[in-house]
Amino acid sequence: MVTLSAPVDADLLRLRSEFATMPGLCLTVDQTARLLSVRTPKACALLDELVVDGLLVRSASGIYRRARLR
């Protein structure tokens, strides 16, 4: 049986990889947009998806960093 899955977002994979290989990395939405060469709303959506996944946390000042491992 063949099942279909959602398309993989290359930008999301790259961003996940950046945070995985650089644990101390901290980025704002604007910095992420520049890093990935995407528009600000897309960068925000990517970062928010990684927050939902539990990889990142967002500070009150809008900086995203890796979540602490439990």
Q: Residues 6 or more apart from 44 whose CB is under 8 A from it? A: 29
Q: What is the pLDDT of residue 68?
A: 85
Tokens standing for residue 33: 């947009």
Q: Is the pLDDT of residue 2 over 60?
A: yes
Rounded CA-CA distance 10/67 in Å is: 22
Q: What is the pTM of this model?
A: 0.85
pLDDT tens-digit map of 5-43? 556 689 999 999 999 999 899 999 999 999 999 999 999
| pLDDT, average across residues 56-63 | 96
The residue segments making up the domain with residue 41 are 10-66
In a domain, 3, yes or no: no
In a domain, 1, yes or no: no
Q: What is the CATH number of the domain that holds 31?
A: 1.10.10.10
Q: Is the pLDDT of residue 4 over 80?
A: no
Q: Count of domains in the chain? A: 1
Q: Pairing relation of β-strands 26-27 and 64-66?
A: antiparallel
At 11, the amino acid letter reads D
In a domain, 33, yes or no: yes
In a domain, 2, yes or no: no
